[in-house]
Amino acid sequence: MLPLVKTSIPPRDILMPKLEEILYSGYVAQGEAVEQFERKFEEYIGGGNTLSLNSGTAALHIALILAGVKEGDEVISTALTAEPTNVAIKMIGAKVRWADIDIKTGNISPDAIEKAINPKTKAIIVVDYAGIPVDVKRIQEISEKYNIPVIEDAAHALGAKYNGKKTGNHFPFTVYSFQAIKHLTTIDGGALQILDNELYEKGKIIRWFGLDKKLTRMDNNITIQGYKYHMNNVNAMIGLVQLENIEKLVQKYIDNGKYLDEHLMGVEGVELIQYYPDTESSYWLYTLKVDNRDAFIKKMENNGIMASELHKRNDLHTYLNDFPAEMPNLDVFYSKMVHLPCGWWVTKEDCDKIIKLIKEGW
């Protein structure tokens, strides 16, 4: 079965010597390797400051804190995402206010965001779902108009671009996940890309119990709530080795995604995702809309191709559904949406098989 997602681990002869060096160095906690990983990741993104963390969820939590969100506030978000996006809002004691999606892309609709804004709105979370960049220009305009910070959840979108610049350069806070099945994995981990230097320094203190690592324990004075959210040297070293090949790896997803786009255009029963101008998806998953999805999934699986909608829409979780809302675009999109594999493990022959099966009908 061709899997929908698959973990990418560097070859043993490259990874293990570096890992053994860390494991037997006598220091496996947050140290020099973490610092190196952060600086290398900044080089890859091409801007901002990297705060490495033990999960993408921790990155979301700290982003909300730095954005000034407090208990009782509201955060506008999308229901089409993995649950951590919205669980993090609840972690801070805030409430989730849904905005409908753009039916052409599956991403949060700028028009719906603007309609959802009210005096309690303190932040907006946008998700580059399946690697597809959001409408950056429109969302930036809304953020500036209402003076509301935007947090970009780019957990699926490492290497995706807008105007030639990678995610991480367009909003004050950009969240990445390095969990097992993402483009880049540190086994578990994440990062928060922060554009403002002062907020970055504050983020470093929040991730380590409210303590400033530049001072001794005796010289520290905790003044804000902190957490144990740091990355360690072991995870960071895995990340450093992964970064050596990341451009090539992400490009494989993109090449496969574009190939499928080209050859599935106009096929009966299939509606392709549209992309906003000047954007390039990282195709973490290949997403399309199909008629009779259940039959489509069965046809794929009977022929050795995994297909799935993967994520449960978040408004179906009672705990996250603070303000039940009608979302007609999401209703239609979610009823047809399906994901197919297009990652580094998918060959051209696999793509051709997928195309052939779809063109045969289901």
Nearest to 270 by CA among 156, 168, 361, 177: 361
Pull the structure tokens for residue 70. Answer: 């407090």
The residues annotated with a catalytic role in the active site are 182
A 10 A CB-CB count for 130 gives 27
Gap between the Cα atoms of 93 and 91, Å rounded: 5
| Amino acid code (one letter) for 141 | E
245-360: CATH class: alpha beta
Confirm if 160 and 193 have CB atoms less than 8 A apart.
Answer: no
Query: Helix crossing, 32-45 with 233-243: angle to 10°?
Result: 30
Please report how many Cα atoms fall inside a 13 Å half-sphere around the Cα of residue 126, on the Cβ side. 37
C-beta atoms surrounding 244 within 10 Å:
12
Beta bridge partners of 360: none
Q: What stretch(es) of the chain map to CATH 3.90.1150.10?
A: 245-360
- Determine the length of the chain: 362
Scanning 46-173, the segments in alpha helix (DSSP H) are: 56-66, 84-91, 110-116, 136-146
Given this model, what pLDDT does residue 92 score?
A: 97
Cβ contact 284:114 at 8 Å: no
Task: Provide DSSP, 104-118.
Answer: TTSSBPHHHHHHH--
Q: Please name the CATH architecture into which domain 12-242 falls.
A: 3-Layer(aba) Sandwich (3.40)
**pLDDT digits (tens), the chain, 362 positions:** 999 999 999 999 999 999 999 999 999 999 999 999 999 999 999 999 999 999 999 999 999 999 999 999 999 999 999 999 999 999 999 999 999 999 999 999 999 999 999 999 999 999 999 999 999 999 999 999 999 999 999 999 999 999 999 999 999 999 999 999 999 999 999 999 999 999 999 999 999 999 999 999 999 999 999 999 999 999 999 999 999 999 999 999 999 999 999 999 999 999 999 999 999 999 999 999 999 999 999 999 999 999 999 999 999 999 999 999 999 999 999 999 999 999 999 999 999 999 999 999 99
- Dist CA 273 CA 261 (whole Å): 9
Annotate 224-263 with DSSP letters as a single string: S---B-B--HHHHHHHHHHHTTHHHHHHHHHHHHHHHHHH
- Domain(s) labelled CATH 3.40.640.10 in the chain stretch across 12-242
Model pLDDT, residue 38? 98
How many whole angstroms separate alpha carbon 23 and alpha carbon 228?
21
d(CA 33, CA 139): 36
Residue linked to tokens 């786009």: 261
Q: What is the DSSP letter of 322?
A: S
Which region holds residue 292: left if phi is over 0, alpha if psi is between -120 and 50, else beta? Answer: left
Is there a contact between 165 and 47 (Cβ–Cβ < 8 Å)? yes
Nearest to 19 by CA among 183, 230, 240, 246: 240
Instruction: Give the tokens for residue 32.
Output: 């020099």
Return d(Cα 349, Cα 126) in angstroms, integer: 35
Look up residue 248 and give its two tokens: 């090539």
Cα 30 from chain centroid (whole Å) = 24
